[in-house]
Structure 1
C-alpha cells in the first residue's frame, strides 16, 4: 500500500470517527433538551381509586425546604398529602398552613425520626421476646397509618448531613453520627418503600421518587451522605427490575432524581442564581419528570449542564476542582457558624 493511499485511508477513518462523535454529541444534546422541555405527566398518578377515593401522596422530610414545596406542588396538582418529619409541632403548623392554602385538599402528618431506624440487634431482640418497646421507627405503625388510603405517590426526600459540623473527614466522625446519617439517607427510605410498596402496587399506576444528590460519586467531607444517597438510587433500580420480574413494571414508576445546590433549604440560605434555583422552582422541575418512565435524571436543567461539564473534565483536573470547591465550602461554612 502506497504512502498516499495510507494517508487517504487514515484521513477517511478520522473523518468518520469525527462525524460519529459529533452525531453522538448532537443526539445526546437533543435528548437533554427534550428531557427539560417536556411537560409533566404527574396527572397519570392523580387518579381516584375504584371506590372513588381521592389520590394521596406521601413526602418525607416535608417540614421545610424542598419537601415542603413538593407537598405544595402535589396539592396544587390534585393530591391529598401526608407530610413527614420528626417534630410534631412543626408538622402541625405546616399542615395547617397547607390546609389554608389548599382548602379543597386533605392533609395529614406523620412523625418519625429517620435518624433512628432500629439496629439489627434491636430488631432481633424485639422478635425474640415478642415486645415492641425498643426505640426506633415503627414501620408497621406507618403501614397502618396509610391503610385504606389511595396512596399513589411516595417521595423519599428526607436526607442530609449532621448539622454540626456538616463537613468532616470520615476518620473524624464518631460511630453515632456515622450510623445516624446512613439511617437517615438510606435505611429509612428503603424500609419505608419496602413497607408501602404493596399499597402502591394495589393503587397502580403509582410513582416512587427517590431524591438523591449529585455529590453521590466521591465528594470529600461528605462520605456517608454521598454514599448512602447513591445506595438509594441503586435500590430504586433493583426494585424496578423486581417489579419487571413479576410483570408489574408498569404498575409503579421508579424515578431517581440527582440534586445539585438549592436555596431555601436547611443549611443553604443563599440568594438564587443561574445554577442555584429556589426550592419552589426545583420542586416544579422534579415533578416535571414524573410519568415519563423509570430512570435516573438530574432534576434541574442547570444542574444537568454542570454534570455534563464535569464529565468532560480529565479525572485529575476534576479531582483538583472538587477538592478546591470543598475546601472553600468548608471555610465558608466555618466562617458562617462563627458569625452566628
Structure 2
C-alpha cells in the first residue's frame, strides 16, 4: 500500500495560513522590541563620556536635574562650567561639588536666560575659549507656576517661556557647537519633556509643551546634521521627576529623584537622538500610547484642572495676607 504524506499547511485554508503568518510576524516583532528594550535599559554599557572632552557645560545647574547632572559629570571625572542666574546658589553648588570631588575644576557663569541673551552668551564664549568642552547639557527651562488656560498666561510668562526654553537653548548651543566641530567630537543633551512628546496633549500647559516640542525637533535636526562630524545630539524626554519645577517633593518608583534621573540620563548619553532614560517612564509611555487619545485627553484635562484650582486657591490666599 502506498502512503501519501501531506504538508500540514496544505491541509489548512489559505485564510488561516495568512493569519498564522501575520501572527508569527507580529509575535517576532513584539519579541524583538522587548529584547531591545531590555538591552538598552539594563545591558548596554554607557559610553565613555571623557572621550568627548575634559569639560562639561551645564545650564540651570543650581537646582533639580541640572544640579544632579553636574554632580554625576564630576563623578565621571569631567571639569565643569556651571550656569545659573543666582550667584549665591552657584557658589553653594560649586562648593558642594568641590568638597565631594576635590580634583574637579569648576567655572561659574552668572547668566539669567530670561535676561540679556547676547551678553550672557558672550560671557559663555569668553569662558570656554581654549577649553575642551565636550559635553553640553541644556537643562535650564521654565514652566507655568501651575496649570492654566492659554488666555490666562500673562505677557511676562509668555515671553519668558519662549525666551528661556527656545531662544536660550538655541543661543547657548550656537555658542558651544563651533568648538566641538573644530575638535570633531562632542555630545549635546537637550532636556525636553513628556509634555510635548510622550503625552499626546499636556492640557493647560500649551506654551510650555510647544516650547519643548521645539526642543525635540531642534535636537533631531542637529542630530542628523552633525552625526557625521563626531557630535552626538540627543533630546531626553523625562516624565515627572521630583524637583521644585514639577512641585513634587518625594520620589517614588515612577517619579525618580533628580539624582536618579541624572544617573539614568548619563547612561543614555551619546546613543539614540530621542530617549526616555528612566526606564519606568517608558512603561508609562507605552501605556499612554496604547490608550485612545480621547481617553488620555479626558484624564489629563481633569488632572490639570485640579492643579489649576489648587494654584488659584494658593494665589488668592497670598492676596488676602
Preserved CA contact (<8 Å) 1:210 1:255: yes
1:308 aligns with 2:314: no
Taking a change above 3 Å as real, the CA distance of residues 324 and 22 of structure 1, as seen in their structure-2 partners, is farther
Match of 1:130 in 2: none
Preserved CA contact (<8 Å) 2:85 2:112: yes
Match of 1:122 in 2: none
For normalisation by structure 1, the TM-score amounts to: 0.83
Backbone CA RMSD of aligned residues: 2.3
Post-superposition shift, 1:314? 1.4
SS in 1 for 2:125: helix
For structure 1, which runs of at least 5 residues remain unmatched after alignment? Answer: 50-54, 119-135
For normalisation by structure 2, the TM-score amounts to: 0.87
Structure 2 counterparts to residues 191-206 of structure 1, below 5 A: 191-206=171-186
- Shifted more, 316-325 versus 264-273: the winner is 264-273
Match of 1:36 in 2: 41
**Residues 258-280 of structure 1 deviation map (CA, whole Å, 9 limit, x = unaligned):** 01111143342322211111111
Post-superposition shift, 1:333? 4.6
Preserved CA contact (<8 Å) 1:240 1:254: yes
Match of 1:274 in 2: 253
**Residues 201-250 of structure 1 deviation map (CA, whole Å, 9 limit, x = unaligned):** 23342110111011114211111111111111111111122225xx41xx
1:317 aligns with 2:316: no
Taking a change above 3 Å as real, the CA distance of residues 256 and 40 of structure 1, as seen in their structure-2 partners, is farther
Structure 2 counterparts to residues 175-190 of structure 1, below 5 A: 175-190=155-170
Structure 2 counterparts to residues 89-168 of structure 1, below 5 A: 89-116=88-115, 137-163=119-145, 166-168=146-148
1:207 aligns with 2:197: no
**Residues 147-183 of structure 1 deviation map (CA, whole Å, 9 limit, x = unaligned):** 01110000001112143xx211111212221121011
Post-superposition shift, 1:101? 1.4
SS in 1 for 2:114: helix
Match of 1:232 in 2: 215
Taking a change above 3 Å as real, the CA distance of residues 185 and 321 of structure 1, as seen in their structure-2 partners, is same
Preserved CA contact (<8 Å) 1:117 1:187: no
Taking a change above 3 Å as real, the CA distance of residues 82 and 61 of structure 1, as seen in their structure-2 partners, is same
Match of 1:125 in 2: none
Post-superposition shift, 1:299? 1.9
CA distance in 2, matches of 1:336, 1:36: 40
1:9 aligns with 2:14: yes
Picking from 222, 225, 237, the partner of 2:205 is 222
Match of 2:3 in 1: none
Post-superposition shift, 1:71? 0.3
Match of 1:262 in 2: 241
SS in 1 for 2:31: helix
CA distance in 1, matches of 2:113, 2:245: 16
**Residues 188-211 of structure 1 deviation map (CA, whole Å, 9 limit, x = unaligned):** 011111111011223342110111
CA distance in 2, matches of 1:339, 1:203: 55
Taking a change above 3 Å as real, the CA distance of residues 174 and 329 of structure 1, as seen in their structure-2 partners, is closer
- Shifted more, 200-209 versus 227-236: the winner is 200-209
For structure 2, which runs of at least 5 residues remain unmatched after alignment? Answer: 1-9
Preserved CA contact (<8 Å) 1:139 1:191: yes
Picking from 39, 46, 50, the partner of 2:50 is 46
CA distance in 2, matches of 1:116, 1:33: 43
CA distance in 1, matches of 2:307, 2:294: 20
**Residues 4-59 of structure 1 deviation map (CA, whole Å, 9 limit, x = unaligned):** x9x9222222222222222222211211111111355342x31497xxxxx01011
